[in-house]
Amino acid sequence: MAQPRILILGAPGAGKGTQSQKITEEFGVDHVTTGDALRANKDMDISDMDTEYDTPREYMDQGELVPDAVVNAIVDEALSQADGFVLDGYPRNLEQAEELDDMTDLDVVLYLDVSEEELVHRLTGRRMDPETGDIYHVEYNPPEDPEVEARLEQRDDDTEETVKERLRVYRENTEPVIEHYEEQGDLERVDGEQAPDEVWEDVKATIEDAA
């Protein structure tokens, strides 16, 4: 079987990172994320792209968003170097989805389907240990050490108000992407509210059926 080319979609908190890691281990493919691809190619020469800066690094150093055209070029580069991949965090909008259609032929598009209520519950329950940076969850993954539990903090971006705004922005940008793949007949919905092991069984079976 050729190495599969997989796109994984899902809202913040849907479990994309967990499932992507399992896909990487099981199928021997690269986990390509926009952040990693940017970091790996931050000194790429983009002087021919009529952009404000000549490398992605300069945007990142200024704390500015890297333009879509540059992100597209970097993702294209990362995918061309990969022998099979699971792409996570891209495309974030319909224009990027159309760019991706030109870059590669996907074997399967997975969508981890989780209700907003469950996503809010998962994200607002996250806590960080300020001393180690480790992430816990008050319900699903509490620390065993009471001392650690006592010093846990909720990060600003995990408050209910912030979480709901992040989900609103995600929906606004990404719903057209989901519709795009649904209309193409490529979208495979997976119930992301199951236990992680059950989600994985469905993900694995879906990839094996498609590849």
90 annotated as belonging to a binding site for a ligand: yes
Confidence of residue 1 (pLDDT cuts 50, 70, 90): low
> Is 67 annotated as belonging to a binding site?
no
pLDDT tens sequence across 67-85: 888 899 999 989 998 989 9
pLDDT (tens digit, 9 = 90+) per residue, 160-189?
999 999 999 999 999 999 999 999 999 999
Owning domain of residue 23: 5-210
From CA 6, how far away is CA 110, in angstroms rounded?
Answer: 7
Q: Which helix (H) or strand (E) holds 151?
A: helix 146-151
Would you say residue 122 has pLDDT above 90? yes
Query: pTM for this one?
Result: 0.85
% of the chain with per-residue pLDDT over 90: 71
Q: Is the dihedral of CA 114, 29, 182, 174 positive or negative?
A: positive
Overall number of domains in the chain = 1
**125 in a labelled binding site:** no
Residues with a catalytic annotation lie at: 16, 92, 126, 155, 166
Cα 135 off chain centre by: 18
Check which CATH number belongs to the domain holding 189 and give it: 3.40.50.300
